[in-house]
Structure 1
Amino acid sequence: MSNQSKIILLSLMLFTVEGCSMSRAVNKTLSPPPDTKWANFEVKNPSQYTKPFPLEVRYISYECMKKRISGFDGSVITEPSYNFIGIPMQQESGEIWKAKVVMTGGGSCKWTLSAVNLGIEYIDAIHLGKDLVPGTAVGVTLAFDNDASRNGQFTFVTGDVDLSPKYYPYIREKKIGGVENSLSLIGKKDFLSLRVGEISSVKFSPELDERKITSFVGLEKKIKDKYPKIIYPDGSVAPEKTLFPDFDKIDKMNVN
């Protein structure tokens, strides 16, 4: 599971007491109706060192409500219940991985599809450094309803989805505290955010160019007026106190 979806899951479950009609346990069993629609997901894996992570699927129910204690004033808030499911992707042929998700989960709580996370992550990092471990994942968050897109940071799209975002390797050498050095992927955004409707298919075909490696080099120890460095593929160094690499700068670089 990606770091982003773990944070979402924790925030939704924090201080939550679940109940169906406010009195009995929520039944999370799915029972799709015979005429339900399915959404088909396809990921084209760009490298032998990466792999699609299992689909992170969230269903929502307005039939079975839950109570949540507000962290601000202790008041009781009534809101919908959520049902989180992981669906492994199956390798169809070579680099193509597929899975499908039911749009209407049904069941006694009348579950409906709210959001899906999909994407890729490194599963092997030592080909770019013997001390590296796989880092964070990248991909896309698809919101199927207003609840999932309520933070307003989602781009509305119509019809089926076909994405081919670019990614480059990002090595983090965090030296203080003995943190493991990691290899992640960097893109225009770590996770694209799209608001969709009743789509039938999603294709995610990321491009990965490992010739352009950006590195974050930490300090051996804290030293006044000394800061970690971000080193771009051409050897140039980002200005001091830069927190994140400039993706557009990486993308435009010519590296042999």
Structure 2
Amino acid sequence: MAEYKQAHIPQRVCVALLAMLASLTGCAKDQSLAPPVNSEQVIVRLKVPSELKAETMKVMYRSTLCTFTDHSAYGEPYQRDGYQHMEIEPAQQGRSDVYEAKLSKDGGGDCQWRLSNVTFGVSYREPERFGDNVRFGAGGGVVVIFDDNASPRGGANIKVDGDLAIKESYYPWVSEAFIGGHRKTINLAGEGDIYWMYKAPEAREVYFEPVLHSRFVVHSEQPKVHKKGLYSSFTYPDGSTVADGHSQPAFRRLETIRLAAEKK
């Protein structure tokens, strides 16, 4: 009898463990995105100049049901909303210069995902036209936030009610760096930072039209050595050179140069 009990103790333990695991599995939620076919849509459209291309859109969904544990700077645990990323390629509309993507507001699934933000923009189609080994750097980006959370790029500094229409000027900016290895990039210099940051919770249509002034190229060279008083120099389309400690071109100066040239 004692031998019988000893032989079956491991089996009873295994049965209990299996039951516990089955219970836990039954409570777990499928965290995959499953947008319903009738979900309300946000349409994002870009009007893309021929020298540029539409970048892959990065879309984030959040859930208050499927949370996870994170830790503060002091190591204290706390719960955060779950999130999912997906990438969408904007589709060219016929043979036009308009590209479009449709984003479901409702991400569906057991977690009841909701659209949180989208990051998109444009870059140079052929950066090598500016020289050998030239790569695209930065600029021409937009972030639109649809809820009360920050995006991976941070929070919004512009709040918009209703739909969102963006039309911004950009200038080609060829930047050359030397410290740490020679690098040359072509960037899109605009009035704002690399990304325009918007909060538009009610938007159902988002339109972005970057206007590229391709004839007005600004060049910059970073110092070749670290030395106090040495700054990046900027050579503007009118031939003037400025080295005043700024890290990017002066947008207003570029606008003034262009407008003066177009009046001639």
Pairwise TM-score range, normalised by the shorter structure: 0.7 to 0.9
1:40-94 per-position Cα deviation (integer Å, ceiling 9, x unaligned): 111111123x111111101010001111122x21111211011111111112223
Deviation at 1:205, TM superposition (A): 1.2
Matched, 1:249 2:253: yes
Q: Which amino acid in structure 2 is aligned with residue 37 of structure 1?
A: E
Contact 1:211 1:255 in 2 (8 A): no
For 1:182 and 1:44, the matched residues in 2 are separated by: 23
1:177-218 per-position Cα deviation (integer Å, ceiling 9, x unaligned): 223200010111121111112322111111001111112212
Contact 2:232 2:247 in 1 (8 A): no
1:109-140 per-position Cα deviation (integer Å, ceiling 9, x unaligned): 11000001111011312323344222224221
Deviation at 1:172, TM superposition (A): 0.8
* TM-score, normalised by the number of residues in structure 1: 0.82
Q: Which amino acid in structure 1 is aligned with residue 230 of structure 2?
A: K
Q: Which amino acid in structure 2 is aligned with residue 176 of structure 1?
A: I
Query: What residue number does 2:3 align with?
Result: none
Query: What residue number does 1:176 align with?
Result: 179
3-state secondary structure, aligned to 1:67: strand
1:26-46 per-position Cα deviation (integer Å, ceiling 9, x unaligned): 744122234320111111111
Deviation at 1:220, TM superposition (A): 3.3
Tell me which structure has the larger Cα radius of gyration: 2
Q: How many residues align?
A: 233
Q: In the alignment, which of 146, 149, 156 is matched to residue 144 of structure 1?
A: 146
Q: How does 1:14-163 map to 2 (within 5 A)?
A: 27-48=30-51, 50-70=52-72, 72-92=73-93, 93-148=95-150, 153-163=156-166
For 1:90 and 1:182, the matched residues in 2 are separated by: 27
Aligned CA distance change for structure 1 residues 85 and 25 (closer, same or farther; 3 Å): farther
Deviation at 1:146, TM superposition (A): 0.8
Aligned CA distance change for structure 1 residues 232 and 193 (closer, same or farther; 3 Å): same
For 1:179 and 1:60, the matched residues in 2 are separated by: 41
Structure 1 residues 124-133 or 218-227, which shifts more? 218-227
RMSD over aligned CA atoms reads 2.5
Aligned CA distance change for structure 1 residues 61 and 255 (closer, same or farther; 3 Å): same
Long gaps (5+) in structure 1? 1-20
* TM-score, normalised by the number of residues in structure 2: 0.80
Identity %: 28
Long gaps (5+) in structure 2? 1-23
Matched, 1:227 2:228: no
